[in-house]
Amino acid sequence: MKQLIERKNRWMASHITEAEFPTPLSEKGLALYQAAQKSLTFEPHQALDSESSNSLTIYPVDCHPLTIRYSLVLANRWQNESDKEALIEYLTQIMFEEDSPAQLFVGFFKGKPAACGMLFHDTEHGTLICDVAALPVPNQSALISEMQHSLAAKAADQPLYCEQMD
């Protein structure tokens, strides 16, 4: 699992470290993202028998406008407004290749982006469910749970690890 997490973090960093002219704000966003990753833990995913609600309409991120929506939702994990701005600058730099190991998803609630998450695949080590977040709304924890459940259902039959929320 450690190799899987390290590979995901290298892939996430590559959008800035391999950019020809990264902005100072995107570099700050990467540093904030990497600092937050150090405190995360991952556990084998436990399938839940409970019914998941269908309040989210979930779309794969396959264009830049959805990347922006993903970034806006995930940046809400940070409280400080200047940190959020840096995270958005960083996350909107994510580029996808045909054979990308990551799949990003945005969940819409009542027509507005409200949740996000990532599946990061490695055929050798398994799949991570990570970067799951929801906007700070009254049903935030339910939206996070629904996104995790939906991503687990999309994962292939291989070891699956889920980021543990604080």
Average pLDDT for residues 60-67, to the nearest whole number? 94
Q: What pLDDT was estimated at residue 48?
A: 61
CB 105 within 8 A of CB 138: no
Q: What pLDDT was estimated at residue 59?
A: 96
Kindly report each contact of residues 18-25 with a partner whose C-beta sits within 8 Å and lies 24 or more positions away, as own/partner.
19/93, 22/93, 23/89, 25/85, 25/86, 25/89, 25/90
The percentage of the chain sitting over the pLDDT mark of 70, rounded to a whole number, equals 95
Greater confidence (67 vs 158) lies with 67
Question: What class does CATH assign to 2-163?
Answer: alpha beta
Q: Is 23 left (phi over 0), alpha (psi -120 to 50) or beta?
A: beta
Angstrom distance (rounded) from CA 89 to CA 157: 34
Evaluate if residue 51 carries a pLDDT over 60: no
Q: What pLDDT was estimated at residue 106?
A: 98
Q: Answer whether 0.75 is exceeded by the pTM.
A: yes
SS3 content of the chain, % helix, strand, coil (to 5): 40, 25, 35
Angstrom distance (rounded) from CA 103 to CA 88: 18
Tens digit of pLDDT for each residue in 69-128? 999 999 999 999 999 999 999 999 998 778 899 999 999 999 999 999 999 998 888 999
Angstrom distance (rounded) from CA 105 to CA 113: 10
Q: How confident is the model at residue 130 (pLDDT cuts 50, 70, 90)?
A: very high
Evaluate if residue 49 carries a pLDDT over 60: no
Three-point CA angle 33, 111, 51, nearest 5°: 80
Reduce the DSSP state of residue 123 to 3 states and report it: coil
Q: How confident is the model at residue 32 (pLDDT cuts 50, 70, 90)?
A: very high
